[in-house]
A and B are shown apart, each in its own frame.
Chain A
């Protein structure tokens, strides 16, 4: 592994498949830039052994990441982070936010919260998440 250390947490009791936990966490690290393009990932076998999980599990996580274009494999050398089209990822994120907002609007209407109530609530959330007080 290169200079960057990534943190991976496996929760065997969460009920979420372990390969998916690895997939999600690595993907997050790639999107937020902790893992940069062309950076090597731990080998499938070593990652499995370090996390004390099955090799098949890590292989599956890597396969999924590769299928979705987040990593690429060079035979004999291992897996590397693929360069990401940031604007595309951002667009994906924007869509996600939009769908969450629709949900907020729906919930707000169901308990008759006004536009200003919601904005006020978001101000608190924003502040608690480390943003400026609005």
Chain B
């Protein structure tokens, strides 16, 4: 077995007005990958493809060492999934949800479930209908974590949360991956969330993978320079990754090794990198 939690090889899926083509991506075991893309970039489609909720046209996807079309049932208990909102009957309270989940997951752990609920301050005496968006998401996350998964897949899961809560969720992610055979794939368009905790960053744009690399390397590899029109013309155009014009100058994103000496380089964060790349494309 290879050491990847998820391996996607040359996957294609086409719709009338949108396609994912020749898409390959690997999530090494034990790491957190942030899948970043603007709305409609294909993040959810990709996640659904991974979970075999929609069928791919071609290519292969392996999840926890199993082919996702033929053998996914074998590892389904090991995957925790949080899609935008959990589908739970509206009139249930957490106690009843616990009972149901006990019968669904072979390795459901009630203690974990109630511990997380307490930690995340999910109310026990309210029905699901009365939950706020944030509470629903927290419940979804709790359910995903309570059957001891090896792989956690979250689609825009932390979007409905306030900054303090997001921070707590990040803590939970860090705690979760303390164990080296647990991995997380988390998609978001809120880049600052992922900036901190991810080992790998993958940029998705219009169904394509723009890049995927170790986060630290990305930040070290690229830099932004501020230059004038004249200076811009002297730069090697093929080395320019992205640029932003203002009336007062031009910001250019380049690989640091291509930046001519003598120009002042400022550091980029993941968000800058993403915006620059998407705009240029």
Contact = CB atoms under 8 A, between A and B. Distances in A.
B43 interface: no
A71 interface: no
A54 B178 contact: no
B263 to A, nearest CB: 16
Chain A interface, DSSP helix/strand/loop, else mixed: helix
B174 A17 contact: no
A52 B197 contact: yes
B196 A49 contact: no
Interface stretch (A1-9, A55-63, A94-102): A55-63
Given A15-B267, A45-B178, A45-B180, A56 B216 contact: yes
Interface of B: 30-32, 170-171, 174-175, 177-178, 180, 196-199, 214-216, 219-220, 267
B54 to A, nearest CB: 31
A15 B268 CA distance: 9
Contacts of A45: 30, 177-178, 180
B180 to A, nearest CB: 6
Given A15-B267, A19-B216, A54 B175 contact: no
A116 B138 CA distance: 68
Given A17-B220, A19-B216, A49-B175, A56 B267 contact: no
A60 B197 contact: no
Most B Cβ at <10 Å: residue of A12, A45, A54, A57: A54
A41 interface: no
A46 interface: yes
Interface string A43-86: 00110010011111100100000000000000000000000000
A18 B178 contact: no
A54 B215 contact: yes
Contacts, number: 41
A52 B167 CA distance: 11
Q: Interface residue tally of chain A, by bracket?
A: 10 to 19
11 contacts: A49-B174, A49-B178, A52-B171, A53-B196, A54-B31, A54-B197, A54-B199, A54-B215, A55-B30, A55-B177, A56-B216
Contacts of B216: 17-19, 54, 56-57, 60
Contact of B199 (A12, A17, A18, A56): A56
Contacts of A56: 31, 199, 214-216
B4 to A, nearest CB: 15
Given A15-B267, A17-B220, A18-B216, A54 B198 contact: yes
A49 B267 contact: no
Contacts of A55: 30-31, 177, 199
Given A49-B174, A52-B196, 20 more contacts: A17-B216, A18-B216, A19-B216, A45-B30, A45-B178, A45-B180, A46-B178, A49-B175, A52-B170, A52-B174, A52-B197, A53-B196, A54-B31, A54-B197, A54-B199, A55-B30, A56-B31, A56-B199, A56-B216, A60-B216
Nearest to B174: A49
A95 to B, nearest CB: 28
A49 B177 contact: yes
Interface string A8-34: 000010010111000000000000000
Nearest to B180: A45
Nearest to A53: B196
Contacts of B220: 17
Contacts of A54: 31-32, 197-199, 214-216
Nearest to A50: B174
Contacts of B180: 45
A43 to B, nearest CB: 9
A25 B59 CA distance: 46
